[in-house]
């Protein structure tokens, strides 16, 4: 690994409170499989797991290099594999290509448990984007648990209702028990998504 130029500064990182050298040491420890160093640095700066280099996080390096114990520890600290959908998708492809089944199982099980993500939510997300309210109501009547189920990107129905600016649907979901402060994997609550997100732009995609 080559240390990026921007980490040669002595300034403290506002997100993690760590120095550039400490951030780089944390990345190196995750990459090299040094669990003791990861724990030591994380104890000193609990937010180090949120650091990123060109969208890549410490968790990405731990997963990519097949360091199961470090990946599990970072997930325990609160690390999200969804730093960026492009890097996440590429990472999954790489893990599958290398047949790193144990670490893939860790990733999938933690994602499913923490964010309640299921493929079952995809049809509902599509219906919301298409603004098909009768079909949405019918599906929710048949499967009420989908109100609390995330799709592939951890969007709950309420996230999509806000992103599509569908006021009647927002009211309907809240009346049925949707959590107005529900967080996605990236920490976004519905109120943060009134203009969409990286993948679904309010100015571009809302009819």
CATH superfamily of 119-205: Ankyrin repeat-containing domain (1.25.40.20)
Let me know if 74 is exposed, middle or buried by CB neighbors in 10 A (0-12, 13-18, 19+).
buried
pTM equals 0.69
Residue 30 reports pLDDT greater than 90:
yes
Sign for the pseudo-dihedral over CA of 125, 131, 132, 133? positive
Place of tokens 């951890």: 154
Report, as an integer, the average pLDDT of 98-116. Answer: 88
pLDDT of residue 90: 79
pLDDT digits (tens, 9 = 90+) for 80-104: 887 666 667 778 888 999 999 999 9
Please provide the CATH number assigned to the domain covering 5-115.
1.25.40.20
pLDDT digits (tens, 9 = 90+) for 48-61: 999 988 888 999 99
Cβ atoms of 44 and 12 closer than 8 Å: no
Same CATH fold assignment for domains 5-115 and 119-205? yes
For the CA atoms of 7, 90, 148, 103, the dihedral, rounded to the nearest 10 degrees, stands at: -90
pLDDT digits (tens, 9 = 90+) for 179-188: 999 998 778 9
How many C-beta neighbours within 10 Å does residue 109 have?
11
């Amino acid at each position: 690994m080559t240390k990026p130029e921007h980490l040669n500064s002595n300034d403290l990182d506002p997100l993690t409170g760590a120095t550039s050298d400490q951030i780089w040491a944390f990345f190196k420890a995750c990459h090299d499989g040094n669990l003791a160093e990861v724990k030591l640095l994380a104890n000193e700066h609990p937010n180090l797991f949120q650091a990123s280099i060109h969208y890549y996080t410490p968790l990405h390096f731990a997963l990519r290099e097949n360091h199961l114990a470090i990946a599990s520890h970072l997930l325990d600290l609160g690390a999200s594999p969804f730093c960026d959908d492009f890097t996440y998708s590429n990472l999954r492809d790489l893990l599958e290509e290398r047949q790193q089944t144990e670490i893939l199982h860790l990733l999938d099980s933690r994602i499913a448990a923490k964010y309640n993500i299921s493929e079952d939510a995809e049809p509902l997300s599509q219906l919301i984007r298409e603004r098909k309210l009768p079909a949405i109501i019918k599906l929710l009547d048949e499967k009420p648990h989908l109100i609390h189920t995330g799709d592939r990107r951890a969007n709950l129905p309420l996230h999509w209702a806000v992103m599509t600016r569908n006021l009647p649907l927002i009211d309907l979901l809240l009346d049925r028990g949707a959590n107005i402060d529900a967080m996605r994997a990236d920490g976004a609550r519905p109120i943060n998504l009134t203009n969409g997100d990286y993948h679904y732009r309010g100015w571009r995609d809302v009819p």
